[in-house]
């Protein structure tokens, strides 16, 4: 084993065609390479943020306008309802006034109707006509 180690440690003779060439001719041309930029373009992010901001402001404006429009419609409907309630009260009052027995009698006289002194009443149970309204 020692014979193998000693042969491996021996220097090999340099052949003439494998000799090193002069250093001036073998020097490669080096180019300066700059490091890649670590900054990312911020314009896209800024554009995205501005677009989102403008869209948000427009959405809030549209919602506010719709809410205000709804409030105006509600106010108009409330006013209309108040007017209708007032009209209903006035008509109910007029109907009650016209429906009183005194007013009905006056209108009946104007139409030529006469009041009966002794009215006759038909009793359905007995199938008889009575002049007396108190008896059944």
pLDDT at 131 over 90: no
Q: What pLDDT, in 10s, does the model give residues 3-39?
A: 555 555 566 665 655 555 555 556 778 888 888 777 7
**b/e string for 61-70 if b means 16 or more Cβ within 10 A?**
eeeeeeeeee
The pLDDT value recorded for residue 18 is 54
**b/e string for 11-26 if b means 16 or more Cβ within 10 A?**
eeeeeeeeeeeeeeee
Q: What pLDDT, in 10s, does the model give residues 61-119?
A: 999 999 999 999 999 999 999 999 999 999 999 999 989 999 998 999 999 998 887 78
Q: Is the dihedral of CA 108, 111, 117, 121 positive or negative?
A: negative
Q: What pLDDT, in 10s, does the model give residues 48-65?
A: 999 999 999 999 999 999
Contact of 116 with 102, CB cutoff 8 Å: no
Strand stretches in 25-127, DSSP E? 121-123
């Amino acid at each position: 084993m020692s014979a193998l180690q000693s042969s491996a440690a021996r220097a090999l003779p340099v052949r003439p065609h494998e000799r090193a060439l002069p250093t001036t001719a073998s020097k490669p041309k080096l180019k300066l390479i700059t490091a890649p930029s670590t900054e990312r373009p911020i314009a896209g992010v800024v554009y995205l943020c501005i677009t989102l901001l403008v869209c948000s402001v427009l959405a809030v404006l549209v919602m506010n306008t719709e809410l205000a429009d709804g409030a105006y419609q509600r106010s108009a409907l409330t006013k209309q309802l108040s007017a209708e309630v007032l009209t209903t009260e006035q008509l109910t009052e007029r109907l009650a006034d016209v429906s009183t027995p005194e007013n009905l009698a006056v209108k009946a006289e104007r139409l030529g109707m006469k009041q009966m002194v002794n009215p006759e009443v038909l009793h359905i149970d007995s199938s008889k006509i009575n002049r007396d309204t108190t008896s059944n």
